Amino acid sequence: MFKTFGIRWKEMNSFTYKRAANEAEAIREVADNRSAKFLAGGTNLIDLMKMNVQQPSELVDINRLALKKIESIPTGLRIGALATNSEVANNKLVQEGFPVLSEALLAGASPQLRNMATVGGNLLQRTRCYYFMDTAFPCNKRVPGSGCPAIPGFNRIHAILGASEHCIATHPSDMCVALAALDAVIRVEGPKGARSIAITDFHRLPGDTPEIDTNLQPDELIVSVDLPSSAFAKRSGYLKIRDRAQYAFALVSVAAALDIKNGRIEAARIALGGVAHKPWRSTEAEKVLTGAQSNAQTFKAAAEAALRGAVPQNHNAFKVELAKRAIVRILNDVSGRRVGGAA
């Protein structure tokens, strides 16, 4: 049964708080109330509620659910949705089999936040676009159809790839960039049953519906993230460029993974952060890399391919060159790493 704490407080932005005992209860509760939200670490949602950016009428606390495990499965690794960012980053199986994920997590936020924030919550992080976070501004993501003041405004931190005339926000997560390079699969459960969503299909481009961040249904609960084992996952790394050494969102970040045999790239994954409305997997760069010799020339060609379609805004043209250089640097780095005794 649900435990309900308190009543609907009429004297503040009213919401009810319920603690779910199991997944079915949690899903049913959120399915019954379209403005209910799951509450995990709360590091983003609670802030947004305080700023009136989001006003759910009900929070369904899922922290008691048994979704914290990080375990090997036949195809790879399964990470429970409630595993904290710190737990995942410091997990041996993650560090050895999927180093890019550990590196990305440790590049994000602060230790205090990482101790609270969960994998599931991180997938659902909202943008840090200034205009989205201040209700005095119109914002198509917050109030559909109201306009985008970021386009004529201050857009140094905004998107250069995949943006639309309705929204140029970026996805702020580091973790998701790593997941995009690892072919992660998001396992969810909802009133209609369970399904799996490939990470590249999980987040959306803004198009003319920037208010919808992901393809997750509001009543679907993320239960785990599955990472398939691969040679390229072992040889993977993350690079983040930012305005200060820690506790800053990426100007640009890159997750790279390579499978190299005898100097030839057998498989490659490239994903960019800080440049688009979703973690930006660059199949264009991967095409250049796959089958090519692992060398500086190849990396440069891959970087050019990745940014070919970039459309900068007034204040963020530097991101194009920054992203190219970051791609080259991390590919150099990752290709030179020792992996399982072979370089």
Partner 1 sequence: MSANQQSSKAMNQNKGVVGQPINRVDGRLKVTGGARYAVEYPIENMAYAALIGSTIANGRIKSIDTSEARRVPGVLHIMTHENAPKLKPVMTNPAEGDAAGKRVPLQSPNVYYSGQYIALVVAETLEQARRAADLLRVTYDEQPPATDMDKERGRAYIPKQKVAGKPADTTRGNPDAGLSAAAVKVDEIYRTPTEHHNPMEPHATTAVWEGERLTVYDATQYTYGVRHAMAATFGIPEENVRVICKFTGGGFGCKGTVWSHVSLAAAAAREVKRPVRLATTRQQMFANMGHRAETEQRVVLGATSDGKLTAIIHEGLSHNSTYDEFVEPFSKPTHMMYACENFRASQRLVSLNVGTPTYMRAPGETSGMFALESALDELAYKLNIDPVHLRLINHADTDPDEKLPWSTKLLKECYKTGAERFGWSRRKPTPASMRDGRYLVGMGMASAVYPVNHFPSSARVIIKQDGTAIAESSTHDLGTGAYTVLTQVAADTLGLPVERVRVRLAHSDNAAKGETYQAILTRAGLKEVEGDFDMQFNDRQKTHSSHSFGAHFAEVRVDPDFGEVRVTRATSVFDIGRVMNMKLAESQMRGGVVMGIGMALMEETVIDKNSGRIVNRDLAEYHVPVHADVPPIDIVLLDNFDEYASPIGAKGAGEIGIVGAAAAVANAIYHATNVRVRDLPITPDKLIGKGALA
CA 58 → CA 33, 143, 169, 244, 316, distances in Å?
A: 8, 20, 27, 37, 38
Residue 326's nearest CA partner among 287, 275, 284, 277 is: 275
**Alpha-carbon gap, residue 292 to 276, rounded angstroms:** 27
Which one of residues 222, 250, 251, 276 is an interface residue with partner 1 (CB under 8 A)?
A: 251
Provide the token pair at 56.
């759910």
| Per-residue contact string for residues 252-291; x = within reach of partner 1 by CB under 8 A | ----------------------------------------
Which one of residues 233, 322, 331, 334 is an interface residue with partner 1 (CB under 8 A)?
A: 322
Angle value at C-alpha 136, between 130 and 142, nearest 5 degrees: 65
Q: Which of 107, 233 has the CB closer to partner 1?
A: 107
Q: Is 92 in the site for partner 1 (CB under 8 A)?
A: no
Q: Is 147 in the site for partner 1 (CB under 8 A)?
A: no
Q: Is 300 in the site for partner 1 (CB under 8 A)?
A: no
Number of amino acids touching partner 1 (CB under 8 A):
34
Which one of residues 15, 25, 31, 134 is an interface residue with partner 1 (CB under 8 A)?
A: 134
Q: Is 245 in the site for partner 1 (CB under 8 A)?
A: yes
Min. distance of Cβ 247 from partner 1 in angstroms?
A: 5
Which one of residues 34, 75, 143, 318 is an interface residue with partner 1 (CB under 8 A)?
A: 318
Q: Please say whether the beta carbons of 274 and 252 come within 8 A.
A: yes
DSSP result, 143-184: STTS--TTTTS--TTS-SSS-BTTB------SHHHHHHHTT-
Q: Is 130 in the site for partner 1 (CB under 8 A)?
A: yes
**Alpha-carbon gap, residue 39 to 37, rounded angstroms:** 6
Tokens 């399982």 belong to residue: 340
Q: Is 242 in the site for partner 1 (CB under 8 A)?
A: yes
Min. distance of Cβ 157 from partner 1 in angstroms?
A: 9
Which one of residues 128, 204, 300, 337 is an interface residue with partner 1 (CB under 8 A)?
A: 128
Q: Is 247 in the site for partner 1 (CB under 8 A)?
A: yes
Which one of residues 13, 35, 72, 295 is an interface residue with partner 1 (CB under 8 A)?
A: 13
Neighbours of 132 (CB within 10 A): 23
Residue 240's DSSP bridge partners are 253
Q: Is 112 in the site for partner 1 (CB under 8 A)?
A: no
State the DSSP code for 289: H
Which one of residues 4, 22, 52, 293 is an interface residue with partner 1 (CB under 8 A)?
A: 52
**Alpha-carbon gap, residue 289 to 272, rounded angstroms:** 15
**Alpha-carbon gap, residue 175 to 138, rounded angstroms:** 29
Min. distance of Cβ 74 from partner 1 in angstroms?
A: 40
Q: Is 5 in the site for partner 1 (CB under 8 A)?
A: no
Q: Please say whether the beta carbons of 258 and 343 come within 8 A.
A: no
Which one of residues 1, 6, 74, 244 is an interface residue with partner 1 (CB under 8 A)?
A: 244
Q: Is 137 in the site for partner 1 (CB under 8 A)?
A: yes
Residue 294's nearest CA partner among 317, 328, 246, 254 is: 328
Helix (H/G/I), strand (E/B), else coil: 27:
helix
Q: What residues make contact with partner 1 under the rule CB under 8 A?
A: 9-13, 52, 110, 128, 130-131, 134, 136-137, 149, 152-154, 156, 241-248, 251, 318, 321-322, 325-326, 328-329
